[in-house]
Chains A and B, each alone.
Chain A
Amino acid sequence: MERRAAMAEQLINGQVIEACQQGDRDAFLCLFEAYKDKVFSIAVYSSGGDRTLAEDVTQQIFLKLFTAIRQFRGDSEFTTWLYRLVVNACLDERRRRRRWLPWDLTQTPGMAAAMSNLSEKKPQERQYARLEVAEAVRGAIEELKPKFRLPILLKYIEGLSYEEIAEVMGCSKGTVASRLNRGHSQLAKRLSHFNNPALWGE
């Protein structure tokens, strides 16, 4: 998916954006295809894993995008402009709803079984354990404060550099570094039981 999106993004050039500004349906579709998975992912992780809510948020983001795209003048990168829209929409949604349901890690099915005696497990079982980790990480990410969660999502889902994240979030590169550090630290503390060399193939 990442390769697909990365290559699709490369096709979003000035002409596609200009066509969007003129209201071209196909150009909208092109933009939508390039960014829908990333926008949807951030929306899911910012909405307590509620995919229905995330669909609504994603829909609203693209509607806003199509509204505001006429105002895009190319002063910044299009992606910076887009992700700023995404970040603001997620923060607005959070403020509006105030119902963020964290995943309860202790209730994650099969977690204890997946983590036991990892070093003795076969590769496919380790792969299963890694999927379980992904589930736990999703829950832990959701529990981070938005100022720590959003830089992590922009880094790992969108693949942005520190400078790009800083531009999207309207803060300095140093602040991004500091927030990522604290986000990583909180993830590690919360999920310290995954500090298992066998799990990471070490």
Chain B
Amino acid sequence: MFSKHVTKDISAYCHGELTTEASKQFAEHIISCAGCRTKFEEIKLGIKLAEQLPQLTAPDSLWHEVESALGRGEAPSGTVSVRPASSWRLRLAVAAAVVLVLTLGVWLYNSQPGPHGGPGKAWQVTRLGGTPKIGSEEVFYRGSLSEGEWLETDGNSRAQIAVGTIGNVDIDENTRVRLLETQPTEHRLELARGKMSARIWAPPRLFFVDTPSAVAADLGCAYTLSVDDKGDGRLSVSSGWVALQANERESIVPAGASCETRVGTGPGTPYFDDSTLEFQQALNKVDFDNDQASRSKALKSMLDHSRAQDTLTLWHLLPRVNESDRVLVYEKMESFGAPPAGVTRDGVLKLDQNMLQLWRVSLEGGWILSGGGKGIPKGTVDGKSLKSWSDLKLKDPVKK
């Protein structure tokens, strides 16, 4: 679908100066236009750099110089003469303002959080049921969630967070989330426990959710993320793609698929929700069982229950299993279809990154169809159909 390029709106989008509708159109276009996305990354860097520009402090002597100049009559002609205001009410108001300005100066100077410690930004929270709390304050209708603040729901309450102009996050019962950061170039939530559903219309890698076991990086999508009391989690994607990453592991999860995460291990392997129960149970052992023999046994069971679309899981497993198991995974994948030109058995078994990526790209069409066609947003890249999540140029979403 053709839409106008949006490069001229990038700064306005990042600064929240576009209307909600224009923001949505911007995000829809940029996720499918490689040219605009490249420019978006460039402008984002420019914004990050400009944000580093510190406000300087004028020297204390400056007022005396200004006052002296006024006294010496050096000011341009027409300058008002310096004397007390005529009305005592005015003098009183001014005196109060002077005292407050100077007192605030001292107090705030001493309580500065840092060179960029300006007033925190906030997201609007709407109560959906019960009495959610922001900090210790109950939210009766609407509230404001500032950076660093926790939003907590109990067994009877739910809430919705408006993520600036880029989307919404529904917070389920018994959930605890914190707004870590909201900047033009990055929005980041922490999900400590519970369940949240996000619908984000934004360019890739603008919205992140930290959990105890992995970081979810939005790639333009809708998804549900849950974390249990141990910190383990589960991601289910209903449209678009989400990257889960931790401990140098990355799982790319398309629509119709899910992925478990475990504290200490990080993200497991993504799988389609309609895969067989036997497949999912075996995969769970392959991902998280500590015993190698048990993992190898589970892998064989998993391969026996795999279907062509389960190459999503198999491809992710290639670098995660040992060499002998890798041969089995390769052969199973090959049984569903020969790898594309330029990809050899030997190269895959040696984990040649170029070959692995080539093979993945050739498989993604099938994965998208398995997810009901919701895996890749409609659109074009330089006049060609958007074919791969790799066109979205992912980067490490983990924030250390």
Chain A interface residues toward B at CB < 8 A: 1-8, 11-13, 15-16, 18-30, 32-34, 36-41, 44-45, 55, 58-59, 62-64, 66-70, 130, 133-134, 137-138, 140-141, 152-153, 155-157, 159, 161-162, 173, 177-178, 180-181, 183-189, 191-192, 194-195, 197, 200-202
- Contact A27 B45, CB 8 Å, known A7-B108, A162-B17: no
- Contact A29 B98, CB 8 Å, known A19-B90, A37-B57: yes
Name 10 extra pairs, CB < 8 A, besides A3-B119, A8-B101.
A4-B109, A8-B104, A13-B93, A23-B82, A27-B94, A130-B52, A134-B54, A137-B52, A162-B12, A177-B17
Contact B62 A59 (CB under 8 A): yes
- Band of interface residues on B: 35 or more
- Contact A55 B62, CB 8 Å, known A24-B83, A37-B56, A202-B399: yes
How far apart are the CA atoms of A123 and B170 in the complex, in Å?
34
Interface assignment of B335: CB less than 8 Å from any CB of chain A? no
| A-B complex: 8 closest residue pairs judged by Cβ atoms | A184-B46, A40-B58, A24-B85, A23-B80, A188-B46, A2-B118, A4-B108, A188-B45
User: Which residues of chain B are near A22, meaning CB under 8 Å?
Assistant: 80, 85-86, 90
How far apart are the CA atoms of A183 and B52 in the complex, in Å?
14
Interface assignment of B69: CB less than 8 Å from any CB of chain A? yes
A55 vs chain B, min Cβ distance (A): 6
How many contacts A-B (CB < 8 Å)? Answer: 232
Contact A25 B78 (CB under 8 A): no
How far apart are the CA atoms of A147 and B94 in the complex, in Å?
37
- Contact A156 B53, CB 8 Å, known A8-B101, A184-B43: yes
How far apart are the CA atoms of A63 and B80 in the complex, in Å?
10
How far apart are the CA atoms of A180 and B50 in the complex, in Å?
10
Contact B109 A63 (CB under 8 A): no
User: Which residues of chain A are near B47, meaning CB under 8 Å?
Assistant: 184
A46 vs chain B, min Cβ distance (A): 12
How far apart are the CA atoms of A168 and B123 in the complex, in Å?
29
Within 8 A of A (CB), among B64-88: 65-67, 69-70, 74-86
Contact B56 A187 (CB under 8 A): no
Chain B interface residues toward A at CB < 8 A: 7-12, 15, 17, 39, 42-43, 45-59, 62-63, 65-67, 69-70, 74-86, 90-91, 93-95, 97-98, 100-102, 104-105, 108-109, 112, 116-119, 395-400
How far apart are the CA atoms of A185 and B17 in the complex, in Å?
18
A1 vs chain B, min Cβ distance (A): 5
How far apart are the CA atoms of A18 and B56 in the complex, in Å?
28
Contact A33 B46 (CB under 8 A): no
Interface centre among B12, B78, B101 (most CB of A within 10 A): B101
SS class, residues of chain A in contact with chain B? helix
Contact A40 B97 (CB under 8 A): no
How far apart are the CA atoms of A126 and B81 in the complex, in Å?
51
How far apart are the CA atoms of A179 and B52 in the complex, in Å?
19
A49 vs chain B, min Cβ distance (A): 10
A36 vs chain B, min Cβ distance (A): 4
Q: Which residue of B lies closest to A36 (CB)?
A: B58
How far apart are the CA atoms of A8 and B104 in the complex, in Å?
7
A87 vs chain B, min Cβ distance (A): 17
How far apart are the CA atoms of A173 and B86 in the complex, in Å?
41
Contact B58 A39 (CB under 8 A): yes
